[in-house]
Amino acid sequence: MRLEDFGYNAFFEESRAFLKLPVSSMTRVTSCHKDTYTVAGEQGEYASKITGKIFYTSMEKENFPVVGDWVSLSGLEENHPTIKVILPRKNILLRRSAGGADSQPIGANIDAAFIIQGLDRDYNLNRLERYLTAVTNCKIRPVLVLNKTDLISGEELREKISLIKKRFPRLHIIPSSGITDGGTSGLKKFIRKKTTYCFIGSSGVGKSSLINSLIGKETLEIGALSDYTKKGTHTTCLRSLHVLDNGGIVIDNPGMREFGMSGDLTEDDTGEIFKKLEEIALKCKYSNCSHGGEVGCAVKDALDSGELDNKKYLSYIKLQKEMQHNTMSKLEKRNKDKKFGKFCKTVMARRKKAQS
């Protein structure tokens, strides 16, 4: 396979050239396993280690390789594959802890994220919105997959889709079923070669079934191929990056599958709470009321009278805080973009110099 088949493109080539790394050293991380990383390149797949002090050039704070990273490998001649450099990432998908304090990187260089929602339960649009925000903040294109279509009628499905379209007009929606014959044809049609996808969504929506049906017979267990492992303890790793028959690339690992939203806010009834709150908040004296104790706050009145449940109100506040947190990360990202923009300019300037 060529590097392009693993998703290599001009974006990464630019950095490789700038850093003067040999093309032959480029590989993509297919799994992470304690201190061992499996990587795949044109010559095959290797189990590799990282150097003590990894030369990290990305603007991101996440210092270790994650699945989907493009890395430069050295020590192949000595049968000692070592990751020397992680190329700057196009993006990284982070999973925030429940408190939102720290975040764990679960995948890098993803072109689109399939947000899976099951049609068997009353999913809610607010939760979908929060998935959309999280994914978009990571600079990944969100695509909605409405799964388990086999459980509802065509008419019901069309109704649901039109409701979603009303609220998210630009969102691409793919109906699918992980268990019926041909139920994944829409997904398969959408997936392009050399493009990297991941699947996220709450537990039970059918991610595993969909992924298994896409990946097909490929055995999930891989034995890393390099001699290095044969010398040391033999490691068998669960591969997290798969190249499908149609050339699409899928990242799937336990972290990805658990990627969800924190705390009670994932409850199915949140939609109801927010609808009610929105209604009540309309009656606040000031349109920009923060419901934090201002004069004429209808929310406060509703809390006092018991019309509004205190616990539910707390959930609302929590959501607001999370939204704020997301917005902040967006700003941070923007700053990083600026830095990367400067980096690109330097590359261009050097190119010009070299040509003249």
- Residue ranges binding ligand GDP (CB under 6 A): 147-148, 150-151, 177-179, 183, 203-209, 257
Residue number with CB closer to ligand GDP (100 or 260): 260
Tell me which amino acid residue 96 is.
Answer: R
Report the sign of the C-alpha dihedral through residues 203, 209, 214, 220, in that order: positive
- Contact partner, 284, from Zn ion, ligand GDP, none, Cβ < 5-8 Å per class: Zn ion
Query: 241: which strand partners?
Result: 251
> Which residue bears the tokens 């709470």?
273
99 contact partners, CB below 8 Å, separation of at least 6: 262
State the minimum distance, in angstroms, from the CB of residue 119 to ligand GDP. Answer: 8
Q: Number of residues in contact with Zn ion, rule: CB under 5 A? A: 5
- 277 is an interface residue for Zn ion by CB under 5 A: no
> Which residue minimizes CB distance to ligand GDP?
206
What percent helix, strand, coil does the chain show, rounded to 5?
40, 25, 40
Site string for Zn ion, 294-313 (x = CB under 5 A): ---x-x--------------
Torsion angles phi and psi, residue 278, rounded to 5: -60, -40
- Contact partner, 207, from ligand GDP, Zn ion, none, Cβ < 5-8 Å per class: ligand GDP
Residue number with CB closer to ligand GDP (76 or 214): 214
- Contact partner, 133, from ligand GDP, Zn ion, none, Cβ < 5-8 Å per class: none
Q: What is the DSSP string of 241-262?
A: EEE-TTS-EEE--HHHHT----
Q: How far, in whole angstroms, is CA 197 from its chain's centroid?
A: 8
Residue number with CB closer to ligand GDP (208 or 235): 208
**What are the structure tokens assigned to 102, written together?**
């720290």
- Contact partner, 203, from Zn ion, ligand GDP, none, Cβ < 5-8 Å per class: ligand GDP
State the minimum distance, in angstroms, from the CB of residue 259 to ligand GDP. Answer: 11
Query: 307: which strand partners?
Result: none
State the minimum distance, in angstroms, from the CB of residue 281 to Zn ion. Answer: 6
Residue number with CB closer to ligand GDP (152 or 344): 152
Tell me which amino acid residue 20 is.
Answer: K
